[in-house]
Amino acid sequence: MDITLDAVFPRRIDQAGIDLIKEFEGLHLTPYLCPGKIWTIGYGHTRTVRAGMHITEMQAETLLDEDLRLYERAVMRLVAVPLTDNQFSALVCFVFNVGIANFESSTLLKLLNRGWYEQVPAQLMRWNRANGEVWGGLARRRAAEGRLWNKG
């Protein structure tokens, strides 16, 4: 019998989290270099981008859903404490942006797994740089993730 991870852990990011990602990533139907100098398309998709590529809005939605499953699984695997839906969604948004390896080695994750939930918003705000420079867009995104974390 083949049991997928989704069957065992069907937790998904909520609409507020998806809306946050879409707001900060924007929709791009052709590739562009993000501030981190990574080729990106759709709503922040980076894994399969090729020069000269063009996608539809529907393809961007599909890529986003596939990407979200990857980051949802990572959050479920790495976080050892219970999370509310908003906390889970805030972390998926964060990991979507900074990457799994960065999250896995972060002080944020270490503190959270000790049960220090109240430290998460401040830890999120530390991730406001691209190429060593503070970026206003990242600061706004981290603040939005922190608000989602604290909601409800």
Cα–Cα nearest to 139, from 131, 148, 130:
130
* Catalytic residue (choose from 25, 72, 93, 145): 25
Residues contacting 83, CB < 8 A, separation 6+:
75, 91
Q: Is 93 a catalytic residue?
A: no
Q: Which own/partner contact pairs does 50-53 have at CB distance under 8 Å and 24+ positions apart?
A: none
Pull the structure tokens for residue 116.
């220090």
Q: Is 34 a catalytic residue?
A: yes
The four Cα atoms 134, 73, 92, 100 give a dihedral, to 10 degrees, of: 0
Cα–Cα nearest to 65, from 20, 13, 141:
13
Residues assigned a catalytic role: 25, 34
